[in-house]
């Protein structure tokens, strides 16, 4: 039976699409749609695609232009030759694709999905959009989401009209919102002249939020010594400032917008009721043991284990621009791994930030009392977020469950409007979430990378409840690192190396910051002499991406990994060395191209790599120094590659060598890819297009493998 309901489907590798799909589902619930949410992998078990009439799909890309693992079977099934033609002609879909143009095949996953859907006769009722991690995803996602609900509304109203005329199959494609014509006065959105939906600046929770406002008073001391922030100062400092000049510091703009914007009537998105309620359980103990209630991460391929920190060392000199640390973790329960695999680290927010937030939310008295969340009566929402332990304390939840450093999305800011008592602050928050203030939100919130801490430090009369935060803050996600050793060394140990991430200060941000995970690890390093190494870290194995040594170790390998991109190759070489004496085979030749700024400051694993060269695990070691006056050339790995272009071309064109690239996606991986295409064009004396086609063949043969990050 074809069901007359809306179904949200996702295919997600690392959780982004899943989270967007979950938000869409939640939004749909509050808009009173009969709506369900499923992962594409559950087709045939929890839902049947041939029974769905109207779907919203969110799908990402992984590997080299591949669909996420949990979407592959679904797509394979759509492509079965035995399927009758047009067997999904009842299906109408809206598709949001996620990808990253730093990879050679942008949005390959959702594009393959769409091709398969179309082949089966499914029709699109709203233009597909493809968001790019390399630029700013929200630039695409936000307008697409803005146009989605009117499109869904129109689909269902058309369908109703068609059904009464007995024309069930008719569908209309609605252009995404760039082409929408909005009449802000009466909040009616027109699509191609058709009145599609009334979007009202609505607030479904007036009673609740007013209560919330009255319930709370700001009890913070104006001076917070932990952070040296004078909140009152922060609130008033920028009140009279104006923007719209690049010379004006950006901080003026988070709190105070342009004159033009301050005079406009604003169209605001809907706000939804707070559906979580908290109950304190004085006599109970918080659920102990499992991190985030044991809820599995999308990237995990096994359980979380607690590993002891066995050793930490700094790989860079003290005067290097970046600090690189290497950790060695051990555990009796260490998971199986191969060289080239990565693993996840469960993060914790910084104590001082959690403490600040508790004070700012006026929760000092309740932060350590065991508590339980439940769903308010009369809301359509069904469950509390699964990653919050059943019995928890607010301090524990803020430390381990929520991403308190994430950029607040507009629905979050919209909800904060309702608990901001100062009229000027309230108006400014409204501006930032309004349609008219979209560019100011982009500039002063998203691009400035502000988080809830900055918002609460700037808008001092904003007093949200913990439940509001719990509803809007995303789950604290793990960070992934490449393993830098072989299991054939010490099998219960893993090593990894990372740069401590430091964010440049920004006038919109009150809080200076390091990366959540690297900051957490650096703190452990800094305290290691005081406390010894009694610390543990929660880790888990992640799904393999195929970035591993060939089974046949006689195949030549070329490894390209500047900076911390060298880490998995240390594992590769350790593995080759361990296998060398026992094998009745000859190790294939191996090349390593790495690089750093200065040979005596940040040449990572210098001695280890030179040892690999002398003991035969590594045949050629090529190092580029980008800022070393004593070694001016080659500067970058691609310069080293060009110097070896003859050998590289022999390996890529007339051998079965495997090429591995690890490290920065934005510049390095792109440049290295281009360098190979240029070298092929030169060597074969062919056009760029032909060289590109030749290069793509190497990629499809899985002989050019990337493990890159932005």
Ligand X SMILES: Cc1cc2nc3c(=O)[nH]c(=O)nc-3n(C[C@H](O)[C@H](O)[C@H](O)COP(=O)(O)O)c2cc1C
The binding site for ligand X (CB under 6 A) comprises: 12-18, 60-65, 68, 98-100, 103, 105-108, 133, 545
Give dist(CA 371, CA 391) in Å, integer: 5
| Structure tokens that stand for 666 in this block | 């934005």
Q: What angle do CA 61, 65, 52 make, to 5 degrees?
A: 50
The count of other CB atoms within 10 Å of the CB of residue 555 is 17
CB of 658 to ligand X, least distance (A): 17
CB of 65 to ligand X, least distance (A): 4
Of 99 and 487, nearer to ligand X (C-beta) is: 99
Measure Cα distances from 294 to 27, 253, 302, 303, 695 in Å: 26, 41, 12, 9, 43
Of 15 and 408, nearer to ligand X (C-beta) is: 15
Among 57, 377, 434, 453, which Cα is nearest to 263's? Answer: 434
CB of 494 to ligand X, least distance (A): 19
| Structure tokens that stand for 247 in this block | 């010379």
Of 445 and 661, nearer to ligand X (C-beta) is: 661
Residue 454 near residue 412 (C-beta atoms within 8 A): no
Length of the chain: 710
CB of 571 to ligand X, least distance (A): 17
Residue 367 near residue 278 (C-beta atoms within 8 A): no
Of 14 and 292, nearer to ligand X (C-beta) is: 14
**Residue written as tokens 């051990």?**
330
CB of 51 to ligand X, least distance (A): 25
CB of 710 to ligand X, least distance (A): 8
| Structure tokens that stand for 322 in this block | 């970046």
Q: What is the DSSP letter of 121?
A: T
Of 59 and 452, nearer to ligand X (C-beta) is: 59
Of 95 and 373, nearer to ligand X (C-beta) is: 95
Of 536 and 674, nearer to ligand X (C-beta) is: 674
Of 108 and 269, nearer to ligand X (C-beta) is: 108
CA 450 to chain centre: 16
CB of 20 to ligand X, least distance (A): 8
CB of 231 to ligand X, least distance (A): 35
Among 37, 43, 15, which Cα is nearest to 25's? Answer: 37
Of 65 and 411, nearer to ligand X (C-beta) is: 65
Helix, strand and coil percent figures for the chain, each rounded to 5 = 35, 20, 45
Residue 431 near residue 389 (C-beta atoms within 8 A): no
The count of other CB atoms within 10 Å of the CB of residue 19 is 17
Of 12 and 205, nearer to ligand X (C-beta) is: 12
Give dist(CA 361, CA 398) in Å, integer: 12
Q: What is the DSSP letter of 555?
A: S
Which residues have CB under 8 Å from 88's CB, separation 6+?
49, 50, 78, 117, 120, 121, 122
Of 675 and 705, nearer to ligand X (C-beta) is: 705
Look at the alpha carbons of 30, 31, 35, 41 in this order and tell me if their dihedral is positive or negative. Answer: negative
**Residue written as tokens 């799908």?**
59
- What order of strands is seen across the sheet that includes strand 536-541? 479-482, 342-345, 536-541, 305-314, 324-330, 493-499
Which residues have CB under 8 Å from 682's CB, separation 6+?
645
CB of 58 to ligand X, least distance (A): 8
DSSP 295-357: PPPTTBSS--EEEEEEEEEE-S-TTSSS-EEEEEEE-TTPPP--TT-EEEE-----HHHHHHH
**561: phi then psi, degrees, rounded to nearest 5:** -160, 90
Of 16 and 518, nearer to ligand X (C-beta) is: 16
CB of 19 to ligand X, least distance (A): 8
CB of 336 to ligand X, least distance (A): 20
């Amino acid at each position: 039976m074809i069901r007359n309901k809306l179904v949200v489907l996702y295919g997600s590798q690392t959780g982004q699409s899943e989270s967007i799909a979950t938000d869409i589902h939640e939004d749909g619930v509050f808009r009173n749609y009969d709506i369900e949410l499923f992962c594409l992998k559950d087709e045939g078990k929890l839902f049947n695609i041939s029974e769905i009439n109207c779907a919203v799909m969110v799908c990402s890309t992984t590997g080299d232009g591949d669909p996420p693992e949990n979407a592959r079977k679904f797509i394979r099934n759509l492509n079965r030759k035995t399927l009758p033609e047009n067997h999904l002609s009842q299906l109408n879909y809206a598709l949001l694709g996620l990808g990253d143009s730093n990879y050679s095949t942008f949005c390959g996953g959702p594009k393959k999905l769409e091709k398969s859907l179309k082949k089966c006769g499914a029709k699109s009722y709203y233009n597909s959009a493809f968001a790019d991690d390399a630029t700013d995803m929200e630039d695409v996602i936000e307008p697409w989401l803005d146009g989605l609900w009117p499109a869904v509304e129109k689909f269902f109203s058309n369908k109703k009209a068609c059904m009464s005329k007995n024309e069930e199959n008719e569908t209309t494609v609605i252009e995404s919102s760039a082409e929408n014509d909005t009449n802000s006065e009466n909040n009616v959105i027109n699509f191609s002249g058709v009145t599609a939906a009334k979007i009202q600046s609505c607030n479904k929770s007036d009673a609740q939020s007013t209560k919330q406002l009255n319930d709370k008073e700001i009890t913070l001391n104006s001076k917070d010594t932990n952070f040296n922030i004078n909140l009152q100062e922060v609130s008033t400092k920028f009140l009279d400032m104006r923007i719209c000049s690049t010379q004006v510091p950006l901080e003026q703009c988070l709190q105070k917008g342009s004159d033009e914007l301050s005079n406009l009537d604003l169209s605001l998105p809907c706000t939804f009721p707070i559906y979580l309620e908290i109950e304190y359980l004085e006599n109970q103990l918080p659920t102990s043991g499992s991190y985030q209630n044991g809820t599995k991460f999308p990237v995990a391929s096994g359980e979380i284990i607690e590993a002891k920190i066995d050793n930490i060392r700094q790989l860079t000199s003290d005067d290097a621009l970046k600090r690189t640390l290497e950790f060695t973790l051990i555990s009796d329960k260490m998971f199986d791994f191969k060289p080239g695999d990565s693993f996840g680290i469960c993060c914790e927010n910084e104590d001082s930030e959690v403490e600040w937030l508790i004070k700012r939310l006026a929760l000092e008295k309740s932060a350590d009392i065991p508590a339980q969340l439940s769903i308010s009566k009369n809301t359509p929402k069904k469950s509390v977020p699964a990653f919050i332990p059943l019995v928890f304390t607010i301090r524990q939840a803020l430390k381990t469950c929520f991403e308190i450093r994430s950029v607040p999305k507009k629905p979050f800011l919209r909800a904060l409007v309702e608990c901001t008592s100062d009229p000027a602050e309230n108006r400014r928050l409204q501006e930032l979430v309004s349609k008219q203030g979209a560019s100011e939100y982009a500039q002063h919130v998203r691009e400035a990378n502000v988080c809830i801490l900055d918002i609460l430090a700037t808008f001092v009369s904003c007093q949200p409840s913990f439940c509001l935060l719990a509803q809007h803050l995303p789950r604290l996600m793990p960070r992934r690192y490449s393993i830098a050793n072989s299991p054939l060394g010490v099998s219960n140990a893993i090593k990894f190396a990372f740069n401590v991430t430091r964010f440049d200060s920004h006038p919109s941000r009150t809080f200076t910051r390091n990366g959540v995970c690297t900051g957490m690890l650096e703190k452990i390093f800094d305290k290691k002499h005081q406390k010894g190494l009694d610390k543990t870290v929660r880790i888990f194995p992640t799904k393999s991406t195929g970035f591993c040594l060939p089974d046949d170790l006689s195949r030549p390998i070329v490894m390209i990994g500047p900076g911390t991109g060298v880490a998995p190759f240390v594992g590769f070489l350790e593995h080759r060395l361990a296998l060398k004496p026992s094998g009745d085979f000859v190790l294939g030749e191996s090349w390593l191209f790495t690089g750093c700024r200065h040979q005596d400051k940040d040449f990572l694993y210098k001695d280890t790599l030179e040892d690999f060269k002398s003991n035969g695990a590594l045949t050629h070691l090529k190092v580029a120094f980008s800022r070393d006056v004593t070694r001016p050339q080659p500067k970058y790995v691609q310069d080293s590659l060009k110097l070896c272009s003859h050998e590289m071309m022999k390996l890529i064109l007339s051998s079965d060598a495997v090429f591995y690239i690890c490290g920065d996606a934005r510049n390095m991986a792109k440049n290295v890819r281009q360098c190979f295409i240029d070298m092929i064009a030169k060597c074969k004396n062919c056009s760029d297009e032909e060289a590109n086609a030749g290069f793509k063949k190497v990629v499809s043969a899985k002989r050019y493998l990337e493990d890159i990050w932005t």
